[in-house]
């Protein structure tokens, strides 16, 4: 099995080779984080996150995810070098380490919450292994962040692969998560992120469920730096990993790693 370090080195080489063939008309980048933690092996380190946010804040127009949606539905042209910051799952380190940096820099972000994880009913960090040992956000922390401009969306209640379960079960899981969030936050929940988020993990039937229950957008993990024409219910994101150097990060957000979208299509 190829190590993470070797995979990352290979991606750097491919990025250099592919760069002349990549043509992003505009950069409208949705960043995808999970954990920001000083010691966890798969988490972005706080110092790295701070440097990344300083770069994004200085070189891109950073808007909330819902602002991006409003720009899209207004049919106005998206400005070039537009950035959105998102987190999946709802780990407590989002509050402890990421939030103070975002607050200091005045940057908006959206966190997609797995409500069963937040409520202590399931431990996705342990179940899904990658972020094993990490704790969920507390509702008090979520409410505090909301007061400072952090927005929240649903990432389901139990984090299932939605196409692996019955459609009615998928609908129940999505609706239950939405209901919990709306009761806790006292506001409509309009944003959704698919668990895993690749092409085989959501479908047109799942999208119809989201529309039926008044969601207005959904994020995938399909790779791409241009969301100016992307389906609003399968927005592309750029995953930021613990092994990313600052140069890797700059290349990712500037479209140089968009060869990954070609590789994802080959897997379908």
152-168 burial string, b = 16+ CB within 10 Å, else e? Answer: bbbbbbbbbbbbeeeee
Domain locations in the chain as residue ranges: 25-244
The reported pTM is 0.94
Query: At residue 127, does pLDDT exceed 90?
Result: no
Cα–chain-centroid distance for residue 115? Answer: 16
Query: At residue 15, does pLDDT exceed 60?
Result: no
Query: At residue 22, does pLDDT exceed 80?
Result: no
**pLDDT at 2 (0 to 100):** 63
pLDDT category at 182 given cuts 50, 70, 90 is: very high
Return the higher-pLDDT residue of 76 and 215.
215
pLDDT digits (tens, 9 = 90+) for 195-230: 999 999 999 999 999 999 999 999 999 999 989 889
pLDDT digits (tens, 9 = 90+) for 24-60: 667 899 999 999 999 999 999 999 999 999 999 999 9
What superfamily does domain 25-244 belong to in CATH? Glycoside hydrolase/deacetylase (3.20.20.370)
- Is residue 161 classed as helix, strand or coil in its secondary structure? coil
**pLDDT at 79 (0 to 100):** 85
Segment 4-16 mean pLDDT: 68
Of 91, 23, 61, 68, the closest CA to residue 219 belongs to 68
């Amino acid at each position: 099995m190829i190590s993470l370090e070797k995979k990352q080195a290979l991606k750097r080489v491919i990025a250099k080779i592919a760069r002349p063939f990549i043509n992003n008309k505009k950069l409208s980048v949705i960043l995808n984080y999970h954990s920001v933690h000083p010691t966890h092996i798969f988490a972005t380190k706080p110092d790295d996150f701070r440097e990344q946010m300083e770069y994004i804040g200085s070189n891109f127009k950073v808007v909330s995810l819902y602002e991006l949606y409003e720009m899209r539905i207004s049919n106005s042209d998206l400005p070039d070098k537009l950035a959105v910051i998102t987190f999946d799952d709802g780990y407590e380190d989002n509050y402890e380490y990421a939030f103070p940096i975002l607050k200091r820099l005045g940057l908006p972000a959206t966190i997609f919450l797995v409500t069963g994880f937040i409520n202590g009913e399931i431990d996705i960090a342990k179940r899904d292994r990658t972020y094993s040992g990490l704790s969920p956000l507390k509702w008090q922390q979520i409410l505090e962040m909301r007061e400072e401009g952090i927005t929240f969306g649903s990432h389901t209640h139990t984090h299932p692969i939605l196409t692996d379960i019955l459609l009615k079960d998928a609908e129940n899981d999505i609706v239950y998560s939405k209901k919990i969030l709306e009761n806790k936050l006292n506001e409509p929940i309009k944003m959704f992120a698919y668990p895993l988020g690749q092409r085989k993990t959501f479908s047109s039937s799942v999208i119809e469920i989201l529309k039926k229950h008044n969601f207005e957008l959904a994020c995938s993990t399909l790779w791409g730096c241009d969301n100016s024409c992307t389906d609003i219910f399968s927005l592309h994101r750029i995953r930021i990993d613990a092994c990313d150097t600052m140069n890797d990060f700059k290349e990712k957000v500037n479209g140089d790693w968009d060869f990954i979208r070609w590789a994802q299509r080959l897997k379908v």
